[in-house]
Structure 1
Amino acid sequence: MIFKSKYPDIKVPQVGIYQYVTSNPKNIPDDKTVYIDGITGKSYTYGEFKHESKKFAAGLQDKLGFKRGDVLAIFSPNQVDYPIVLLGTVAAGGKVTTANPKYQATELSYQLTNSGASVLIMHPQFIETGIKAAIKAKIPTSKVLLFGDKEIKGYKPYRFTLIGNREIEPVSYNPEEAKTATVYLPFSSGTTGKQKGVELTHTNIIANLEQLINAKCNLGPQSIIMGILPFYHIYSLSCILHGTLIHGATLVILPSFNVETFCGSIQKYKINHIYAVPPIILQLVNNPVVQNYDLSSVNLIISGAAPLSEELAKKCFKMFKIPTFQAYGLTETSPVLHHPDTIDLSNAISGSIGLLVPNVKAKLLSEDGLELGYNESGELWVHGPNVMKGYLKNKEATDSAFDKDGFFNTGDIATVDKQGILFTK
């Protein structure tokens, strides 16, 4: 049988991502701070973000000859300029491939080559790896630029090279273009084999943001979000970076997890909404240094990327009185497929749990390909506007991931109960 979301269907805006995230449905003022570097204190207001990203887009076009459909790669840990580069590229009509800063040169050069990246923006901390990979991928030195404000080994900061006075009118997309134009190329192992570029369209990302808004994700201008999860990963890229703008929230950005810095930032900035992964929650529960900090501002932790145990969720609630829930998704689904529908810890169950987000259908298949019903365990296949366009330059992998009806094979085992709650193993 086909399982449908219990939420009513929603209408997904058929526009480009830049236009969507700057549509300002919450009417926040231009002087509201949206991005803060939790280490340095450097910040961008909503107005500054718009100006800087449009200047970055102009610089790409004017100085580097960047055209609509070109690909820019970001190789960096989280930092406050990341959204400028990311969404500035989108404003210029480009695609962005986000790379894991822990990659070795061979892994990075593979992603640069496979994605067709013609520009690389990298963090000075990883300059040696970035230079080697760029040379191997044949990206000219003039198109390899740095975050920060120092020239290193002849490589210049993007800010000095690209940011001038001109701002562009961001490239716009009609409904058909929004649906078909790839905007992000994160790389995923998929269910098998070598890393594959996942083609996510403007509509894919916008659909998932709208799905979360309608699935009661409890975000708004009052929200102060923890930005600890790596921005190169779709979970953080979509839910955190883009979510901050569409909800009019404030994001406190940290480059990596350190328990003192993490807890100190919660206390200093009164962070109230945390996206995390189970190892972070484990640290909160087990590390005695946490008791030195006031975490009372936090009213919700959403965990993703790996299964959260019932025991850990309940322990966190018992210690801090913070409801802690599991969301579920994949890079290929932009990413969230189901989300906790209620902030009530009595519903916490081992594994991943929640309602399918709006506009998503699912089916469960047995090992011999038969469709299963309620409370039967099988392979999860999904269909919805947030499901990827396909794997980049890999028709074989794309064809094997979808069935004739357009359902995508997650590769995960799940069950659905009669209330429509999806449990993934």
Structure 2
Amino acid sequence: MIFRSKFSDVDIKKIGVYQFITSNPYGIDDDKAIFIDGNTDKKLTFGQLKTNSKKFAFGLINKIGFKRGDVLAIYSPNHIDYPVVIFGAIAAGGIVTSVNPEYTSEEFAFQLKDSGASVIICHPDYLEKAIKAAKVANIPESKILLFDENEINDFLPFLSLLSDQEINPVEYTPEEVKSTTAYLCYSSGTTGKNKGVETTHYNMVSNLSQLDVFEDQINHENVYIGTLPSFHIYGLTLFIHFVILKGASCVLLRKFELEKFCRAIQDYKVNIAPIVPPIVLLLVNNPIARKYDLSSLKLAISAAAPLSKDLCKKFVEIYKAPIKQAYGLTETTPFAIVAKTDNIVDGSIGILLPNVECKIISENNKELEYDEEGEFCIRGPNVMKGYLNNKEATDACIDSDGWFHTGDLGYADSQGNFFIVDRVKELIKYKGFQVAPAELESVLLTHPSIIDCAVTGIYSDEQATEYPLAYVVLKQNEIQSDELKKEIKDFVSQRVAPHKKLRGGIYFTDKIPKTPAGKILRRFLKERARNESI
């Protein structure tokens, strides 16, 4: 069966991202502070954003020859001027590719070459890596510009491009809106080499329009905490776009640090916190969080990775604020399924956004019914154009009927609530049984000695099957021992079916490898397990 949204379809405007973002549907004043630097208290108003982005666009075109269709790369953690650079490039008719600042110069060079970027705006702290990457990608050093106001070794700040004149932002026909790429975010690479996801103007306008109707309670009084990275589609869509559309405010932090995060919520009376499960885990378990007054918080939104029921429950008990889940992927811009704030269902990732359809299929492509587990397939105007320079990968995940095969396993109940189980490719196959790592991880996290964990599979030649094994991070002052390993193993065995037992063992580690969005990098753990001859 095909699952459809409970909402009526939204009429999606066929206009460019810049025109949509600055359309100001809720009538906010130009002096409204949209972005606030949580460290310096510097503010960027709605009026300044519009003016500076159009001045930057004029400078891009007239000072360094940036043309319609050119690609600008941003290599920086969150920054108060990140939106100015993004919308300046978009106003100039360009494409923005946002880059993880923690990438090595080699990884950065790959994205520059693959995306075809010709201009780099980078944070001064990452200039050395940017110079190396630009050299490999044949980008002249004159096309590397810096955030902040200072010139460093002849590298100019991007503000030097701001002209006295403003550009008339490039406009697109309805057909061009649908076909023109606005953003090139790169998939997190949990399954291998990163791929450039082509998000069109129509994709972004669609997802914002869907969210606008769905999140009808959000308004100019809301204050978001922006600690998730803007280079990731979650932060890009929610902080850099949705906040502007709603006329809300966002306190930007360079990156997540628990004390700064809590202090910003306290000082700026933040009431909405979009986060990921590792942050929820810290807020629940780390006593530092209790030192701050977080009573202004009215809602937390967790996305990018599954969140266990137990963790949700603990968060609500401690902070007296609801926490809801949202589901999506870079390929869906990202939001496809979101929980309604006034109807959060325990363990559910939510319901379908307007204009979104979902079917759940079995391994042999059969469409499933209510309460039957299978792979989520999503169809809607927010589904990407495709993977850049990779028709084979695009064709492998978007079928001829427009269904995007997500690779995520889950089910829907009769009320239209969706539940995520795990990644299809991450399921452990034990003697014909399927074992979901996320389920075992949610059990492990209820153990009093464990602060974080990850489950993966290791193949046993002797038994010709995969065994589930767990890497665990112990709480402070807990002592590693074989006795504790056995206790944890028994703890899990008492709570799961026999085929889900941790037959591969328990292994202590200092840290679980994760993407910036909080997804566990299981392939690294699998490799580690093989190398250690477990």
For the superposition of Structure 1 and Structure 2, which TM-score range results when normalised by the shorter chain? over 0.9
Alpha-carbon distance in 2 for matches of 1:18, 1:379 = 35
Letter of the 1:293 counterpart:
Y
**1:19-418 correspondence to structure 2 within 5 Å:** 19-160=19-160, 162-189=161-188, 192-216=191-215, 218-344=217-343, 347-349=345-347, 352-418=348-414
Q: Deviations over 1:87-140 (max 9, x none)?
A: 110011000000000000110000000000000000011111111001110001
Alpha-carbon distance in 2 for matches of 1:211, 1:417 = 22
SS of alignment partner, residue 156 of structure 1: coil
CA-based RMSD: 1.2
Letter of the 1:363 counterpart:
K
1:358 CA drift (Å) = 0.7
Does the Cα contact within 8 Å between 2:258 and 2:289 map onto a contact in 1?
yes
Alpha-carbon distance in 2 for matches of 1:214, 1:190 = 32
Does the Cα contact within 8 Å between 2:324 and 2:341 map onto a contact in 1?
no
SS of alignment partner, residue 129 of structure 1: helix
1:194 CA drift (Å) = 1.2
Alpha-carbon distance in 2 for matches of 1:388, 1:229 = 22
Letter of the 1:66 counterpart:
F
SS of alignment partner, residue 266 of structure 2: helix
- Determine the structure 1 residue equivalent to 2:524: none
1:218 CA drift (Å) = 3.0
Alpha-carbon distance in 2 for matches of 1:72, 1:118 = 6
Q: Deviations over 1:310-345 (max 9, x none)?
A: 111111110110101110000000001100023345
Letter of the 2:412 counterpart:
V
Letter of the 2:12 counterpart:
V
Alpha-carbon distance in 1 for matches of 2:2, 2:339 = 21
Does the Cα contact within 8 Å between 1:227 and 1:251 map onto a contact in 2?
yes
SS of alignment partner, residue 225 of structure 2: strand
Change (3 A) 1:342 1:244: closer
SS of alignment partner, residue 153 of structure 1: coil
1:217 CA drift (Å) = 5.6
Q: Deviations over 1:181-237 (max 9, x none)?
A: 000000015674311100000110111111112223632101111010000000000
Q: Identity of counterpart residues, as a percentage?
A: 52
Stretch deviating more after TM superposition (255-264 or 221-230): 255-264
1:153 CA drift (Å) = 2.3
Where structure 2 has 5 or more consecutive residues not aligned to the other structure, the ranges are 422-534
What TM-score do the two structures reach when normalised by structure 2? 0.78
Alpha-carbon distance in 2 for matches of 1:393, 1:217 = 38
SS of alignment partner, residue 185 of structure 1: strand
Does the Cα contact within 8 Å between 1:191 and 1:411 map onto a contact in 2?
no
> If you compute each CA radius of gyration, which structure gives the higher value, 1 or 2?
2
Letter of the 2:7 counterpart:
Y
Q: How many residues align?
A: 421
Stretch deviating more after TM superposition (329-338 or 289-298): 289-298
Alpha-carbon distance in 1 for matches of 2:96, 2:72 = 5
Alpha-carbon distance in 2 for matches of 1:269, 1:190 = 35
Alpha-carbon distance in 1 for matches of 2:153, 2:190 = 40
Does the Cα contact within 8 Å between 1:337 and 1:360 map onto a contact in 2?
yes
Stretch deviating more after TM superposition (164-173 or 186-195): 186-195
Alpha-carbon distance in 1 for matches of 2:324, 2:312 = 7
